[in-house]
Amino acid sequence: MTPAETITKARTALVLDHPFFGALSLKLKIKEDPSCSTAWVDGTRLGYNPDFIKDLPFDQCKGLLAHEVMHCALNHISRKGVRDASKWNIAGDHAINHILDDYGFALPDGALMDPQYKGMDADTIYSKLPEDSGEGGEGDSDCGGCGVMRDPTTGDGQQASPADVKELDHDWEVATAQAAQQAKAMGKLPASLGKLVGEMLRPKADWKSILQRFVTQWAKDEYSWRRPDRRFLHEDLYCPSLHNETIGEIVVGVDTSGSVSAEELLRLGSEINGIVNNFSTTVHIVFCDTAVQEVVTLKTPDDLPFKWEAPRGGGTNFQPVFDWVADRTQAEGTEPACLIYLTDLYCRMPKQPTYPVLWACTNEQVAGFGETINIHS
């Protein structure tokens, strides 16, 4: 049996015996790739080394496919962000392999499965791994025999844009829900797996991760990156450092009408402090009720710590902040990299600008344009 036939047979076996994993495996295009050491997945394709598959026991081949599928279902590929690729792969492997082991899958020899990480997600494991885990390793460095994650691509192998990645994540969430439903209808969805899928699909108020992704997505432009500042990893801050000293400015609008509590302001403020500490950029904090009340500019870590206290005003009007940005853009000749606005969103929306906007909302409201994160929990 050829390696390609082995992969096909393993997928068929998953469909019959483990329909949840089997259905998801059918979403991936299979690509023979002798250049890799074991296997890889990028969200749309699964590549494999034919010599590796040829020598792999069939049961372990099924486990390998289930493993790669779980990287996609858990959105590990898109959530790497600026984290070290090799270390992130190690964290994801530990998280997934414990799950698959519980369901009786055989995994390739050397599969990472440290008991101390059982029950943890990849983000938690990443923060607990030794400092030098994965250090110096390439993105395709597979130390666990279960393949590696590559950056997300489109179906034709081209690098995925931010919009492509967002659509890819959505597609996998839909496919995961459908696969669970089909497996349950066949009576082949263990209760524990059903619970896990429910937790995977439940919306999470992980607004810090969304904030860091938004800033790195829109503020990095074409600049080169250093490794993340380790001092902030234990606080779930993954804001990167930059080689280049200048990136686009970031504007933070703060609604001072009284709809934002001191705790909520401090919550967002601590994240902005982390951005200032890690980015070589300028952050303008614009306090506004029905008019701009105060503007504070943070340029370097020397400007920290900044005490986040807002002057209290009356009503709410978003337009003055956007007007302030427009005036500054006209004077300086460049738009900000992005605008982050802290508010309860109970106000008429301004006209959508050409630069990206992230609304940091204190309740469950969703803005009419841009992205919205809810920081009330």
CB 344 within 8 A of CB 255: yes
Element (H, E) at 54: helix 50-54
The class that CATH gives domain 207-374 is alpha beta
Which pLDDT value is given to residue 217? 65
How far, in Å, CA of 40 to CA of 147, rounded? 5
Pairing of the two strands 292-298 and 283-288: antiparallel
Residue with tokens 């402090």: 273
Q: What is the mean pLDDT of residues 28-42?
A: 95
- If one counts every other C-beta atom within 10 angstroms of the C-beta of residue 102, the result is 14
Band of pLDDT at residue 205, cut at 50, 70 and 90: very low
Band of pLDDT at residue 227, cut at 50, 70 and 90: very low
Locate the domains of the chain by residue range: 3-201, 207-374
The model's pTM is 0.56
Band of pLDDT at residue 68, cut at 50, 70 and 90: very high
Peptide bond into 320 cis (omega under 30): no
pLDDT tens digits, residue range 147-198?
999 999 887 778 888 888 888 988 898 888 888 888 888 888 877 787 777 7
How far, in Å, CA of 317 to CA of 349, rounded? 9
Q: Find the DSSP H helices in 229-297.
A: 262-278
Strand-pair partners of 287: 254, 294
* Residue 313 structure tokens: 């005003």
pLDDT tens digits, residue range 289-322?
999 999 999 887 777 777 777 777 678 999 999 9
Residue with tokens 């080689």: 243
